[in-house]
Each structure stands twice: as C-alpha cells, then as structure tokens.
C-alpha cells in the first residue's frame, strides 16, 4: 500500500510494496518460524466503486519447524515460493490467499511420515496496515503433497505475521 506525505494514498495507488515478513505459527504439537521476502506487486487490478484492489505478490521464504518433545524427528527446514493474491478491501484491510511449492529437508517430522519432501502450501489470511511501512496479519496454512505420494497426512499451522514494507 502506498502512502504520500498527506497520509494513505487513494485507490489509484499502485500495488503492494515489497518487504520482509516474519511469521510465527503453531500446529499439532509443533511450531513454524518463517522469514519471507515479498516482492512488490507483479500484477494489480482495481475494482469499481468501493470494491478495492487485488494484487499478486510473490513470497520467497525459509521456515524452521520444531516439534514438541518427545516427537521425532523434532526439526525440519522448509523453502517456499508462494504467489499470494491480496485483496485490499479498503486502504488498511486485506484478505489474502495463495498456493505454491515448498520443499522440506526431511520426509518425516513430528512422529509423521509426510510422504515426500515436496509439498504444496495453501494459505488464507486477513491483515491490517498499521503504518505506511508495517502490516500485521493472521494466516492459516496447510502443507501436503496433494496425493502424489502416500502417506499424505499434511501439516497445518495458524500464524501471526508481521511485514515491514520498503
């Protein structure tokens, strides 16, 4: 979201700025810590009336998963590339959704065989623009291999997110 010296820019502003985000997620006896680089919007469209704007913003990230003891294996790394659609319903509020590819460093995590290191990440969330350079949000994420290999139990997290835009 762009701002000018007088405050928030109008709906005619260009898309979402790029930035760095941190996420803290919790799941079924495990946690996920994420650092993402978010590019500026690569596509933006404005809707008529009060319907806001839709942006397409890629996220490239790395995550560290840790399981509660005595669940084993207790750690894993994940690398992801997720195109996120972000619908700005107003100058400050947004709804987001995205699906993309991820790779984990192991196929077993937290007493589960997840089938394959390659997983799809499905995300949906909501957020709020705090200042011209910061956003906070809540996001639900589901990771699974979409049945390309069995078993496919999936991993789910609910995350708090903070993004510093530049």
Q: Closest Cα partner for 86 from 119, 49, 45, 37?
A: 45
Residues marked as catalytic: 142, 144, 156
What DSSP string runs through 90-140? Answer: SSSEEEEEEEEEEEES-SEETTEE-S-SEEEEEEEEEEEEEETTEEEEEEE
Name the β-bridge partners of 143.
Answer: 121, 155
Task: Report the distance separating Cα 68 and Cα 101, nearest Å.
Answer: 26
Q: Which two tokens stand for residue 63?
A: 């995550």
Which residues, other chains included, contact 90 with Cβ-Cβ below 8 Å and sequence gap of 6+?
A: 52
């Amino acid at each position: 979201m762009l701002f000018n010296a007088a405050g928030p820019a109008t709906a005619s502003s260009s898309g979402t700025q790029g930035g760095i985000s941190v996420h803290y997620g919790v799941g079924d006896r495990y946690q996920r810590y994420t650092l993402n680089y978010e590019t500026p919007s690569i596509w933006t469209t404005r809707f008529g009336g009060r319907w806001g704007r839709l942006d397409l913003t890629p996220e490239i990230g790395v995550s560290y998963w840790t399981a509660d003891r005595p669940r084993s294996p207790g750690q894993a790394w994940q690398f992801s590339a997720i195109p996120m659609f972000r619908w700005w319903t107003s100058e400050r509020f947004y709804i987001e959704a995205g699906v993309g590819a991820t790779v984990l460093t192991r196929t077993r995590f937290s007493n589960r065989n997840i089938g394959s290191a390659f997983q799809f990440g499905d995300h949906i969330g909501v957020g709020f623009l705090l200042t011209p350079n910061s956003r906070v949000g809540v996001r639900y994420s589901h990771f699974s291999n979409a049945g390309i290999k069995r078993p496919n139990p999936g991993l789910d997290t609910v995350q708090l997110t903070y993004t510093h835009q530049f």
